[in-house]
Amino acid sequence: MIGETLELLFSVPFWVAVLRIATPLILGTLGVLLCERAGVLNLGIEGIMVAGAFTGWLTVYQGGGLWAGVAVAAGTGAALGLLHGFLTVTLSLSQHVSGLGLTLFATSVASYAYRVSFPKVDSPPTIEPFADMAWLPLPVLNAQTPLTLLALALVPLIGYLLYRTPAGLAVRTVGENPAAAEGQGIDVAAVRIASVAAGSALMGVAGAFLTLAAFNAFYFNMVNGRGWVCVALVVFASWRPGKALLGALLFGVFDALQLRLQQSGGSLFGVDVAYQFYLMLPYVLSIAALVVMARRAAYPQALMKPYRKGER
Amino acid sequence: MHIERRAEVSRVAQLAAPFGAIAFTLLASSLLVAWAGAPVGQAYALLIEGGFGTLFAWSETLTRAIPLILTGLAATVAFKARLFNIGAEGQLYAGALAAVAVGGLHGGSGFALTPWLLFPLMMLAAALAGALLLLGPALLKSRLGVDEVVTTLLLNFIVLLFVSMMLDGVMKDPTAMGWPQSVVLQDGLQLERLIPRTRLHTGLLWALVLAVLLWALFKHTTTGFEIRAVGANARAAAFAGMPVGWVTVKVALLSGALAGLAGAIEVAGRAGYVTLDMSPGYGYTGIVIAMLAALHPLGVVAAAVFVAGILVGADSMSRAVNVPTYIADVIVSVSLLAMLVATMLAQYRLRWR
For chain A, say whether B89 makes contact (Cβ under 8 Å): no
Do A91 and B157 lie within an 8 Å CB cutoff? no
Instruction: Tell me how close the Cα of A65 comes to any Cα of chain B, in angstroms.
Output: 25
Backbone angles phi, psi at B154, to 5 degrees: -70, -35
Residues of A numbered 105-124 whose beta carbons fall under 8 angstroms of chain B's beta carbons: which are they? 105, 107-109, 111-112, 115-116, 119
B232 in contact with A at a CB cutoff of 8 Å? no
Cβ–Cβ contact A134 with B under 8 A: no
Cβ within 8 Å, pair A228-B153? yes
B203: amino acid identity, one letter: G
Q: Is B2's CB within 8 Å of A189's CB?
A: yes
Q: pLDDT averaged over chain A?
A: 91
**Mean pLDDT over residues B189-212, rounded?**
94
Range A197-226 average pLDDT: 96
User: Does A229 touch chain B if contact means CB atoms closer than 8 Å?
Assistant: yes
Residues in B touching A274 (Cβ below 8 Å): 165, 168-169
Residues in chain B closer than 8 A to A90 (CB atoms): 1-3, 350
Cβ distance A201 to A74 under 8 Å? yes
In a domain? residue A132: no
The CA distance from A69 to A204, in Å, is 10
Question: Looking at the complex, does the CB of residue B34 fall below 8 Å from at least one CB of chain A?
Answer: no
Residue A308 belongs to a domain: no
**Is A109 in contact with B336 (Cβ distance < 8 A)?**
no
Q: Which residues in chain B have Cβ-Cβ distances shorter than 8 Å to A266?
A: none
- Report the pLDDT value the prediction gives residue B220, as an integer from 0 to 100: 95
The pLDDT value recorded for residue A296 is: 77
Q: Is A308 touching B (CB cutoff 8 A)? A: yes
Nearest to A29 by CA among A226, A274, A283: A226
Segment B297-306 mean pLDDT: 96
Over residues A229-277, the pLDDT tens digits come to 999 999 889 999 999 999 999 999 989 988 888 887 666 666 678 888 8
Residue A309 lies in a domain: no
How many structural domains does chain A have?
Answer: 1
- Within a domain: residue A130? no
Chain A hits for B344, CB-CB cut-off 8 Å, are: 91, 93
Instruction: Give a yes or no: residue A304 inside a domain.
Output: no
Q: What's the average model confidence in pLDDT over B131-147?
A: 93
A308–B32: do the CB atoms touch at under 8 Å?
no
Beta carbons of B340 and A90 less than 8 Å apart:
no
Could you give the CA distance from residue A134 to residue A95 in angstroms, rounded to a whole number? 43
Chain A residues with beta carbon closer than 8 angstroms to that of B157 = 224-225, 280, 283
pLDDT score at B306:
93
Q: Between B155 and B319, whose confidence is greater?
A: B155
CB–CB contact B151 A287 (8 Å): yes
pLDDT of residue B324: 93
Predicted pLDDT of residue A140: 87
Check if B334 contacts A (Cβ < 8 Å): yes
Looking at the DSSP bridge assignments, the partners of residue A272 are: A267
Cα B317 to Cα B46: distance, rounded to the nearest angstrom: 5
Cβ contact B182:B171 at 8 Å: yes
Encode burial over A32-67: b for 16+ CB neighbours within 10 A, e otherwise: bbbbbbbbbbbbbbbbbbbbbbbbbbbbbbeebebe
Largest CA distance in chain B: 72
A26-85, pLDDT tens digit by residue? 999 999 999 999 999 999 999 999 999 999 999 999 999 999 999 999 999 999 999 999
Residue B106 β-bridge partners: B109
Using the predicted structure, report yes or no on whether residue B217 has a pLDDT greater than 90.
yes
Residue B185 phi/psi, 5-degree rounding, is: -70, 155
CATH number of residue A91's parent domain: 1.10.3470.10
DSSP single-letter state for residue B340 = H
Residue B121 binned pLDDT confidence (cut-offs 50, 70, 90): very high
Contact A104 B144 (CB under 8 A): no
Residue A259: predicted pLDDT = 86
Find chain B residues with C-beta within 8 A of A91's C-beta: 3, 340-341, 344-345, 348
Cβ–Cβ gap B36/A276 under 8 Å: no
Is B159 exposed, middle or buried, given 0-12, 13-18 or 19+ CB atoms closer than 10 A?
A: buried
What is the length of chain B? 353
pLDDT for res A307: 84
State how far the Cα of A127 lies from the Cα of A115, in Å rounded to an integer.
17
Taking CB atoms and an 8 Å limit, are A274 and B144 in contact across chains? no
- Give first-to-last CA distance, chain B, whole Å: 5
Work out the average pLDDT over A131-160.
93
H/E/C letters for each residue in chain A? Answer: CHHHHHHHHCCHHHHHHHHHHHHHHHHHHHHHHHHHHCCCCCCCHHHHHHHHHHHHHHHHHCCCCHHHHHHHHHHHHHHHHHHHHHHHHHCCCCHHHHHHHHHHHHHHHHHHHHHHHCCCCCCCCCCCCCCCCCCCCCCCHHHCCHHHHHHHHHHHHHHHHHHHCHHHHHHHHHHHCHHHHHHCCCCHHHHHHHHHHHHHHHHHHHHHHHHHHHCCCCCCCCCCCHHHHHHHHHHHCCCCHHHHHHHHHHHHHHHHHHHHHHHCCCEECCEECCHHHHHHHHHHHHHHHHHHHHHHCCCCCCCCCCCCCCCC
Element (H, E) at B136: helix B115-139
**Is A253 domain-assigned?**
yes
* Chain B touched by A97 (CB under 8 Å): yes
pLDDT tens by residue, B245-288: 999 999 999 999 999 999 999 999 998 999 999 999 999 999 99
Range of the domain at A12: 2-124+141-296
Within 10 angstroms of residue A225's Cβ, the number of other Cβ atoms is: 18
* Percentage of chain B exceeding pLDDT 70: 99
pLDDT of residue A311: 64
**ipTM of predicted complex:** 0.92
Q: Any idea of the CA torsion for A36, A40, A44, A46, to the nearest 10 degrees?
A: 10
CB atoms within 10 A of CB B55: 10
Q: How far apart are the first and last CA of chain A?
A: 59
Q: Pairing relation of β-strands A271-272 and B2-5?
A: unpaired
∠ CA A239-A241-A246, nearest 5°, is: 100
Distance from CA of A142 to the nearest CA of B (A): 33
> How many Å lie between the alpha carbon of A182 and the closest alpha carbon of chain B?
14
pLDDT at B70 (0 to 100): 98
Cβ–Cβ gap B158/A284 under 8 Å:
yes
Does residue B353 surpass a pLDDT of 80?
no
**Residue A83 belongs to a domain:** yes
Interface test with A, best of B153, B315, B319 (most A CBs within 10 A): B153
- Nearest CB partner across the interface for A87, out of B36, B288, B340: B340
| Each residue's pLDDT tens digit, B68-84 | 999 999 999 999 999 99
Contacts of B3 in chain A (CB under 8 A): 90-92, 308
List of residues 6+ apart from A23 with CB closer than 8 A: A144, A147, A148, A151, A209, A213, A214
C-beta atoms of A189 and B169 within 8 A = no
Average pLDDT, chain B: 92
Residue B300 Cα distances to A94, B52, B132, B228, B275, angstroms: 19, 18, 24, 17, 26
Residue A312, pLDDT above cutoff 60: no
Query: From residue A299, how far is each of A160, A260, B93 by CA, in Å?
Result: 20, 35, 33
Which residues lie closer than 8 Å to B1 by C-beta, 6 or more apart? A90, A189, B350, B351, B352, B353
| B117 class by beta-carbon count within 10 Å (0-12 exposed, 13-18 middle, 19+ buried) | exposed
Q: For B156-179, give the DSSP string.
A: HHHHHHHHHHHHHTTTB-TTSTT-
Lowest mean pLDDT among A302-311, B48-57, B246-255, B323-332: A302-311
Task: List the single residue in A115, A276, A291 with the smallest CB-CB distance to B164.
Answer: A276
Nearest to B326 among A91, A115, A277 (CB): A115
B337 to A98: CB separation less than 8 angstroms, yes or no: yes
- Please indicate if any CB of chain B lies within 8 Å of the CB of A279: yes
Nearest-CB residue to A108 (from B322, B333, B341)? B333
Q: What percent of chain A has pLDDT over 70?
A: 96
Residue of B nearest to A309 (CA): B2
Q: Which of B150, B165, B288, B341 is best to mutate for the A interface (most A CBs within 10 A)?
A: B150
Q: Quick one: CA dihedral B90, B96, B102, B104, positive or negative?
A: negative
Q: What 3-state DSSP class applies to B351?
A: strand
Considering only CB atoms, B337 lies closest to which of A101, A228, A229, namely: A101
Q: Dump pLDDT digits (tens) for A69-107.
A: 999 999 999 999 999 999 999 998 999 999 999 999 999
Residue B111: pLDDT band by 50, 70, 90 thresholds? confident
Nearest to B158 among A189, A235, A283 (CB): A283
Structural domains for chain B: 37-323 (1.10.3470)
Q: Are the beta carbons of A103 and A51 closer than 8 angstroms?
A: no
3-state secondary structure at position B3 = strand
Q: Examine residue A233 and state whether it is found in any structural domain, yes or no.
A: yes
pLDDT of amino acid A110: 97
